[in-house]
Structure 1
Amino acid sequence: MVKNSDISLFFNPKSIAVVGASETPGKVGYNVLKNIIESKYSGKLYPINPKAKEILGNKAYKSVLDVPEEIEIAIFVIPGKFVNQIAEDCGKKGIKGLVVITAGFKEIGGEGIKRELQLIKVAKKYGMRIIGPNCLGFIGINYNGSFAANTPKKGEIAMISQSGAMLTGMMDYSMDQAFGFSCNISLGNKADLDEVDFIEYLADDPNTKVILCYLESIENGKKFLEVVSRVARKKPIIILKSGV
């Protein structure tokens, strides 16, 4: 069962580690860190890079285990083959939320499926929750933890998308329109948290008045219908399902 506290930590983290933060403009690890800073995130920020001492004005650490303070969530922008090893370190550190932007999991089949199953196993071992893998990141009302080109305007629409391209398309479109977002959630492979978990959480989110979803698959149709029917009594839900 997913508790609200499992999800709320992604919306209001007191501290974020960017695992794979880069000094090189244009790299995903650079863009994610830059977006967090430029979105005026007020919590503690820890770039993780074994070769850097400082990135974009923030002290860098070789490992999450070297950070002396508590870390609430970690955003992964590292090669897939290193993800499970670093996830194990995150568990030992007491980190409770992972946003795994990294691709190379079940979407590629074969070894990627095994890698994703191992990631799930590590997360369960330490009680961590996962967004992704293979996603754009997470954008909340207080920070932009994604590699999107722009930080969208703040508003009252929550967008949940299984497609990063659809999510960025909507964000780009909104820049010239009279609406903004309370959050933008990129689900990716849905190894752990999925659309049902977020819809249920957003039912009581005071910043969200409308929930917008783009979905490519629904794993548990019965639970999905039960939650959507209940939440829709509180606020409108608009769903676009691909392939229909």
Structure 2
Amino acid sequence: MRHPLDCFVNPTSVAVIGASTVPHKTGGRRWRSMVDGGFPGPLYPIHPSAPEVLGRKAYRSLREVPDAVDLAVVLVRPDLVPGVIAECAELRVPGVVVITAGFGETGPAGKALEREMVGRLRASGGRMIGPNCAGLFSASGRVNALGWQPPPGPIALISQSGNMALTFAQFAREKGLGFSKLITVGNAADIRIPEYVEYLFGDPETSVIVAYLEGFEPSEGRELFTLLRTHPAPKPLIVLKPGETESGRAAALSHTGAMAGRHR
């Protein structure tokens, strides 16, 4: 049986909802990195008016795509995201990455909207990375929805910060290292950190896991500890946690809405 997270890193087809014809825009950079990454399956740019984007036929909505979509990358305005999520649920898209910000990190109303979107996707069998994330990279799946190119290698990185993910990638390149998977989780409204770690324990391309975590949900730290203690084949896991100072905790809260608890 296919693992629920496999559609994110080894998808059979990808739609980029909000792909842009303007190269420097968020949707333009990420569409180009998907195309330039050499993804072997069908790639579908979703654009309201352009006939094509970088030589690929564009579609006005996900409903117009001729075949099933395995992974949807969402880059539209915040007010349009719930409608896109509804469309993904209707079409039973198994994996959705929401890069758009403006949800749980803004306060209780944003968190409530996140819960609604997650509930709708889960009811149709889908899962969500984000919102408010920077995208993801998978060397094995030739998926690059980051808008920049990480070096390939045996390290899997899970990061709540897109800027820190870029910093780690630059440092790795300088040291001759690279990544098997690079996943920015943003607000992590759906998939929790232990789920990513459990999946990566079974990933043959990954030798070590690095997690940059600005905060944990209740019981999440204990779940991660239990996973490390009980998994039959764990891998080295390095957890980097900011927020030891008051200013650091405030920065984490303003970024992803994560409560950076005290180090214990």
TM-score by structure 1 length?
Answer: 0.94
Asked if structure 1 preserves the Cα contact closer than 8 Å seen for 2:7 and 2:70, the reply is yes
The equivalent of 1:61 in structure 2 is 59
1:4-15 paired onto structure 2 within 5 Å: 5-15=3-13
- What is the Cα deviation at residue 110 of structure 1? 4.3
Return the alpha-carbon distance in structure 2 between the equivalents of residues 234 and 122 of structure 1: 33
Partner of 2:175, secondary structure, is coil
Q: Is 2:212 the partner of 1:214?
A: yes
- What is the Cα deviation at residue 23 of structure 1? 0.4
Q: Which moved more, 1:18-27 or 1:137-146?
A: 137-146
Return the alpha-carbon distance in structure 2 between the equivalents of residues 239 and 218 of structure 1: 12
- What is the Cα deviation at residue 5 of structure 1? 1.7
Query: CA offsets per residue over residues 130-160 of structure 1, 9 Å max, x none?
Result: 0000001010113343334x31111000000
Structure 2: gaps spanning 5 or more residues: 244-262
Query: CA offsets per residue over residues 155-204 of structure 1, 9 Å max, x none?
Result: 00000011111111001222222111001010100111121101001111
Query: CA offsets per residue over residues 37-63 of structure 1, 9 Å max, x none?
Result: 111111110000111110011100011
1:184-203 paired onto structure 2 within 5 Å: 184-203=182-201
Return the alpha-carbon distance in structure 2 between the equivalents of residues 226 and 47 of structure 1: 41
Return the alpha-carbon distance in structure 1 between the equivalents of residues 145 and 44 of structure 2: 15
Asked if structure 2 preserves the Cα contact closer than 8 Å seen for 1:9 and 1:73, the reply is yes
One-letter amino acid of the structure 1 residue matched with residue 114 of structure 2: E
One-letter amino acid of the structure 2 residue matched with residue 225 of structure 1: F
Asked if structure 1 preserves the Cα contact closer than 8 Å seen for 2:11 and 2:70, the reply is yes
One-letter amino acid of the structure 2 residue matched with residue 37 of structure 1: V
The equivalent of 2:224 in structure 1 is 224
The equivalent of 2:144 in structure 1 is 145
Asked if structure 2 preserves the Cα contact closer than 8 Å seen for 1:84 and 1:119, the reply is yes
Return the alpha-carbon distance in structure 2 between the equivalents of residues 144 and 16 of structure 1: 9
- What is the Cα deviation at residue 11 of structure 1? 1.2
Return closer, same or farther for 1:121/1:234 CA change in 2, 3 Å cut-off.
closer
Asked if structure 2 preserves the Cα contact closer than 8 Å seen for 1:153 and 1:179, the reply is yes
One-letter amino acid of the structure 1 residue matched with residue 229 of structure 2: S
Return the alpha-carbon distance in structure 2 between the equivalents of residues 55 and 181 of structure 1: 28
TM-score by structure 2 length?
Answer: 0.87
Asked if structure 2 preserves the Cα contact closer than 8 Å seen for 1:4 and 1:201, the reply is no
One-letter amino acid of the structure 1 residue matched with residue 228 of structure 2: V
The equivalent of 2:246 in structure 1 is none
Return the alpha-carbon distance in structure 1 between the equivalents of residues 134 and 94 of structure 2: 20
Asked if structure 1 preserves the Cα contact closer than 8 Å seen for 2:136 and 2:146, the reply is no
The equivalent of 2:239 in structure 1 is 239
Partner of 1:50, secondary structure, is coil
Which of 167, 170, 175 matches 2:168? 170
- What is the Cα deviation at residue 231 of structure 1? 4.7
The equivalent of 1:111 in structure 2 is 109
Task: Note the aligned Cα RMSD (angstroms).
Answer: 1.6
The equivalent of 2:128 in structure 1 is 130
Structure 1: gaps spanning 5 or more residues: none
Asked if structure 2 preserves the Cα contact closer than 8 Å seen for 1:84 and 1:122, the reply is no
Identity %: 37
- What is the Cα deviation at residue 89 of structure 1? 0.8
Asked if structure 2 preserves the Cα contact closer than 8 Å seen for 1:218 and 1:224, the reply is no
